[in-house]
Amino acid sequence: MNNTVQIDFLSLWQSVRSGATQLFQAVELLPDECECGDADAHLEGRCSCCGGHKQVSKAEGTGVNCAAILDRLRADIATLVKDFSSLAGPLEMAAMAGQRLELRRGVFLAASDLERIYEAFERVDHAVMGFRRTCAVPEFKRVKLRSAELRDQCERINADLEGEKSEKLQG
């Protein structure tokens, strides 16, 4: 893999990781209750329920807009999946031809990690759809829970990547 592709891929991964963290933080700032019934406005932090909420008021100007973050994250994850798919096949073929079990294992593990990120994002997306239908507190709490799970999944994978990077530098 050439350095430009590697840097782009890692940059995209950092964008996904950052987006997951931003989503979690933005969702946490919003109140669980949405009495106005406008889920989209609530997710954008601009409904009447959010206007007087102490956490959102403190965060004025911080860009609390879960809907926008979700859209960016969806695009970044889709691009990451597409880019990985285009790289994984040739990498795996080269690994098989060279009998490089470690590289094949790495491709498989990376694909598994990416699948877990995608599935975690899908759970967030489904929770948001549920909240948009009902504006109910349990549905918004589910959005918060799923956002936390996505962020945690990204952090676990990043910790694994950092651990591997550290091992290679030491060994």
Reported as a pLDDT band with limits 50, 70 and 90, residue 109 is confident
Domain assignments of the chain as residue spans, ordered by start: 3-170
Q: What is the pLDDT of residues 126-164, one digit of tens each?
A: 999 999 999 999 999 999 999 999 999 999 998 887 776
pLDDT of residue 34: 87
Q: What is the pTM of this model?
A: 0.81
Averaged confidence pLDDT in the chain: 82
Phi and psi at 129, nearest 5°, equal: -60, -40
Is the separation of the CB atoms in 147 and 23 below 8 Å? yes
Sign of CA dihedral 130, 117, 18, 1: negative
Q: What is the pLDDT of residues 59-77, one digit of tens each?
A: 444 456 899 999 999 999 9
pLDDT of residue 61: 44
Geometric angle at alpha carbon 135, from 34 and 73, rounded to 5°: 95
Cβ-in-10-Å burial (0-12, 13-18, 19+) of 93 comes to exposed
